[in-house]
Every structure is written in C-alpha cells, then in structure tokens.
Amino acid sequence: MINYLLGFLAATFFNAIPFFAPGTGFVVTFFYVTYDLNLFVLIPIMVLGSTLGRYILAKFTGKLASRFLHPERNENLSYFRNQVNKKPFHAFLFTFIYCALPTPSNLIFLSLGASKVNLAPILLGFALGRAVNYTYAALTFSYIYHRIAEELQGSVTSASNIFTQVVTIILFSVFLLIDWKELILNKKFKLLVNIGKVKKV
C-alpha cells in the first residue's frame, strides 16, 4: 500500500511543477515494473495524483497572474476565458484527445490557469486522457524493465526534454501577449507587447 501512496505523491508533485518534470508515463511505468503493482489499481491512483497536481498548477498560476500581471493583461485574458467557458464539451474533448497522446500538458494548465477558466471539463478530459496514456505507457515500456530507471532520470535532462520545455516557456509567453479581444471579436492576430508591466505589490 505504501508504494501506491508514493506513486500518488510522485504524480501529484511532478504535475504541480510547471517545467522540467519527468513525464508521468515514465513514473507510472517505474512504479509498475519496480514494485510489481496491480496496474488496474495503480492507474486510477496515478491519474488522481496527476489531476490533483495539474489542478494545483492551474490555481497557482491563476493567483500569480492576478497578483503580478497588469490589470489590462488580466482583462484581456478574460476574453479567452469566456470563449472557453462557452464551450465546455469542446474543451473536454480537446483535452481528452490531447492528453491521451504522449504529449506534455503543462502548457494547457499554465495557459488555462492564468486565464482562470472553468477547470471542471478540462480536468475531466485530462483524467480520462491520461488514464489511456498511462495504461499504454505501462504496457508498452514494461518489457524494458532494466532501462526504466535510466529513462526516468534521463527524461529530465535529455536534450529533447529541455527543448520541449523551452518551447513550452516560449509558447506560454506568447499566449500571455496575444490580444485575445482583437482575435476573438475581429479575427485579427495581434501581440500586446506594450502592456507587460508588472503590477506593483
């Protein structure tokens, strides 16, 4: 039972980190093959932990946005929030399909967290998508038991992971700069490069 708890805590911790965390699929596989755990018990526990972690990340990002972004920038993000909140099923479906694939989800929760969207359909899509993803990862990689620890350690410092995280940082920065009001109402792409002042605290 302690190993399941450790897996839950690991999934929560790594998913609450915005950048440079190992892929949770590797973490799931590591616990599965190292401790010979029941996969049908492990997957729901890891999904619950990763979903909690992403919830924490989104909420924390939202609080940072409220505290440090210029009020005009936060008002601009409200247009994106309203657009997402109008179509919860679309938000769920996109998140489910995206998270069922072996793709990093930190950009989604950083962006939606900063925008303070309704997280319920996003978290549901994430949980179901990651359940598919983790099951596939565990069954696929379980046969290379002797390499799992190396993969888990290397996933943090590998060139591909560093590149992915740098791209994520750049895309998140661009997301914050997009004039969502202009894009949604007038279908014109524009960057608000002149309203990036940090709000005084």
Q: Tell whether 197 is covered by a domain.
A: no
Q: Tell whether 103 is covered by a domain.
A: yes
- pLDDT given at position 129: 97
DSSP structure string for 159-170: HHHHHHHHHHHH
Interatomic CA distance for residues 129 and 152, integer angstroms = 21
Average pLDDT, the chain: 85
**Is residue 12 a contact partner of residue 53, using CB atoms and an 8 Å limit?**
yes
Q: What's the token pair of residue 6?
A: 């450790």
| pLDDT per residue as tens digits for the range 33-71 | 889 899 999 999 999 999 999 999 999 999 998 888 878
- pLDDT given at position 67: 86
**Is residue 44 a contact partner of residue 4, using CB atoms and an 8 Å limit?**
no
Which structural domain range is residue 132 located in?
Answer: 2-186
Q: Tell whether 41 is covered by a domain.
A: yes
Global pTM value: 0.82
Interatomic CA distance for residues 47 and 179, integer angstroms = 34
- pLDDT given at position 148: 53
Q: Tell whether 194 is covered by a domain.
A: no
Interatomic CA distance for residues 123 and 171, integer angstroms = 21
Q: Tell whether 195 is covered by a domain.
A: no
pLDDT reading at 145 higher than 50: yes
**Is residue 119 a contact partner of residue 152, using CB atoms and an 8 Å limit?**
no
Q: Tell whether 130 is covered by a domain.
A: yes
Could you say which DSSP state residue 197 is in?
Answer: P
| pLDDT per residue as tens digits for the range 23-32 | 898 899 889 9
Could you say which DSSP state residue 36 is in?
Answer: T
Q: Tell whether 193 is covered by a domain.
A: no
Q: Tell whether 198 is covered by a domain.
A: no
CB atoms within 10 A of CB 6: 12
Interatomic CA distance for residues 22 and 30, integer angstroms = 11
Number of domains in the chain: 1
- pLDDT given at position 158: 62
Confidence of residue 199 (pLDDT cuts 50, 70, 90): very low
Confidence of residue 161 (pLDDT cuts 50, 70, 90): low
